[in-house]
Structure 1
Amino acid sequence: MERSLVLLKPDCVQRRLIGTIISRFEAKAIDIVAMKLIQISPDLAKQHYAEHCEKPWYPGLEAFITGAPVVAMVVQGLDVIRVVREMLGATNGLEAAPGTIRGDFSSSRQMNLVHASDGVEASKREIDLYFSDSELCAYDVALTPWFRAEDE
């Protein structure tokens, strides 16, 4: 089992696509083990996007991500980091394939609805930024045997 941070960004919240996006993850048998609506502060944005803070376009990114609430989630599943990123599609919504979240709902590079961790190390770091251990709710989903074989 793997975990990933997923952020439903301000454009997702403002466009009222939260339920639509979450339903895609649930349909794929991805478990949500933590979720909350939060307002990202400039300080948290700087921690999250530390590798981008010195880039000339960072102020616009910070203004966007702090401009409205986000839904922060921890999702869990087999190979979930790769699976979620494939479900999102290319970063630029204009380049994302139809059938992906960004391909179906985004027409922008920055306003691309959802962030997801890009690797195991990033996932751990990002989850720790947004959630304490006590906020993670591991549980057995009764339908799991109907989504994948016991030996997977």
Structure 2
Amino acid sequence: MISILYICTHNRCRSILSEAITNKLGDQKLKAYSAGSSPSGQVHSLSIQYLQEHGYETEGLKSQSWDEFSPDLLDEGIDIAITVCDQAAQEACPVWFGKQVKLHWGLADPSKIEGSEEDQKVAFDACIKEIEARVQKMLSFDTSDRESFIAQIKESLA
């Protein structure tokens, strides 16, 4: 099984969405976790709402510090660290110092949308669909060979 740590600053929206989606779609091939460099301490309520609306499990999701996943403790336990902040929106992206393969997925933050409920729904749905597509792409690679999988993901999803 390939393990993935999704990292964002506050660990309340995009990294949480990525964790839940990966764990459902991963089908025992991928195992995901999420953490933040400055966690907010709680998952954004709309993250929970829209995950549930899309049929994803939300029990056990929590906003937590990446200290829980210290590179010193988990170099052997996490295969890939993926940051999900939006550098295009001038967001500061946390830097992970572990030895894992590091990737960046620039995901727009749907929790920052200040509009109607429909505008928020559209933003969350778009983010969820983008994460689903990226996870499906990961699942198209051979997860039974860790080294081959890591080489393919570095080439295709970086």
TM-score between the two structures when normalised by the length of structure 1: 0.30
Question: What is the TM-score with the length of structure 2 in the denominator?
Answer: 0.29
Larger Rg: 1
Which one has more relative contact order, counting CA pairs under 8 Å at least 6 apart?
1
